[in-house]
Copies of this chain bind each other. A is one copy, B any other.
Amino acid sequence: MKFYCSKAMLQHAVQAVQKAIATKTPLPILTGIYLSAANNRLELQTTDYDMAISCSIEANIEQPGKAVVSGRFFQELVRRLPGETVEISSNQEDSTLRISCNSSNFNLLCFPYEEFPVIEKIQTSTNQLTLKDNVLRDIIKKTVFACATDESRPIFTGGLFEAENDSIKMVGTNTHRLALKQDIIAPVELPAKMIIPAKLLNELARSLSSDVPVDVNIYWEKGHVAFEFDDIYLKSRLIEGSFPDYNRVIPAKFDTVVFFDTHAFLDAAERVSLMAKDGDYNIIKFRFEQDMITLSSNNPDVGKASETVAATMQGPGLEIAFNAKYVTDILKNLGSDKATLSLNNPLSPACIRPADSEKYTYVITPVRTS
């Protein structure tokens, strides 16, 4: 193998695949980056078996070939290379990959590339749909934070993705709070329903950062999903199991609706939660009155906090307690300056929405206080 490529492009490719480099693994080859040079393209691949990423860039190939080198060192090294054009060649004799740039020369030991589990792309002509990357990023970012981080119930460590007719939905929940984001798309041929690991969704949202909207092709088969966009192919296992019916979680009607400024309420909640953080449950109390909300917290070891925020209200006032983090999480992701909080009573789920949209719903279970 021998080829030349732009250092900037190579760095982009390494950046794109680095998230799936395995760190803790009994299989050393999974700590590597797989390079394949052919047909004037250089392809990089990584996999930790949960997720696999491929990125393909232009390269001037003098001799096609394959190699696997330490992901950690290759990554560091590419980042620090001087110059603009990198020359890479493999030396069969001593099993090394030679990386040269200006007066720098590196010889990295290779893993046997035949042992690398190369991505098997999903072959399907029916199980696919195409979204704009900004639409996909938006539904991910507005729901993935609500997923469970604890692995005891795996199903909640993923986001439910549904597409049917001209509607897509993404749902994240840890059973104490639930985020549902919907959007309208071009009608899909076949409905899709799958639970995608939150780790993959986070990585995907990070990669989908183009300035100009691009198409993302989504392919799925039993147990796997793949996302294809720009020069990237990202494949992941799906989470098995059946997701609970989220429609049953969202209350049909509310007695009280409060309107408030998202940022003022967020800032107050973050301040008041300073006192709550050290407590066992990070609880803030909210008192809703005619024209204001009073937030308060009490930590017997540290002190007390209270703050008022202007609001308008329809329906009877009430006092209710929530986990502060569950409130601040949604306000940070709301994407709207004005919000509504809909409530029934201190023990039933409440609902936070942007004031200007019905397509984003966040349900939060209150905390019972004495």
Q: Which residues of A contact B (CB under 8 A)?
A: 70, 73, 76-77, 80-82, 96, 103-109, 267-268, 270-272, 274-275, 301-309
Nearest B residue (CB) for A273: B80
How many whole Å from A36's CB to the nearest CB in chain B?
20
How many whole Å from A254's CB to the nearest CB in chain B?
26
Residue of B81, B96, B271, B301 near A80 (CB, 8 A) is: B271
Check A303–B109 contact: CB distance below 8 A.
yes
Counting chain B CB atoms within 10 Å of each CB, the highest count among A81, A96, A275, A309 belongs to A275
Nearest B residue (CB) for A268: B104
| 8 A-B pairs closest in CB distance | A108-B303, A107-B304, A104-B307, A103-B308, A106-B305, A107-B303, A109-B303, A105-B306
A305 to chain B: which residues have CB within 8 Å?
104-107
A81 to chain B: which residues have CB within 8 Å?
271
Check B309–A274 contact: CB distance below 8 A.
no
Residue of B80, B107, B301 near A270 (CB, 8 A) is: B80
A303 to chain B: which residues have CB within 8 Å?
73, 96, 106-109
Docked Cα-Cα span, A271 to B7, in Å, equals: 15
Check B109–A274 contact: CB distance below 8 A.
no
A103 to chain B: which residues have CB within 8 Å?
268, 307-309
Check A77–B302 contact: CB distance below 8 A.
no
Docked Cα-Cα span, A80 to B105, in Å, equals: 50
A275 to chain B: which residues have CB within 8 Å?
73, 106
Docked Cα-Cα span, A353 to B96, in Å, equals: 38
Docked Cα-Cα span, A80 to B301, in Å, equals: 20
Docked Cα-Cα span, A230 to B307, in Å, equals: 35
Docked Cα-Cα span, A307 to B101, in Å, equals: 10
How many whole Å from A263's CB to the nearest CB in chain B?
11
A306 to chain B: which residues have CB within 8 Å?
104-105
Check B302–A105 contact: CB distance below 8 A.
no
A80 to chain B: which residues have CB within 8 Å?
267, 270-271, 274
A301 to chain B: which residues have CB within 8 Å?
109
Docked Cα-Cα span, A309 to B104, in Å, equals: 9
Other A-B pairs, 12, CB within 8 Å; known A73-B275, A77-B271: A73-B302, A76-B274, A77-B274, A80-B271, A82-B271, A104-B305, A104-B306, A106-B304, A106-B305, A107-B304, A108-B303, A109-B301
Docked Cα-Cα span, A306 to B73, in Å, equals: 15
Check A70–B302 contact: CB distance below 8 A.
yes
| A-B contacts, 14 listed (Cβ < 8 Å) | A73-B274, A73-B303, A80-B267, A80-B271, A80-B274, A82-B267, A96-B304, A103-B268, A103-B307, A103-B308, A104-B271, A105-B305, A105-B306, A107-B303
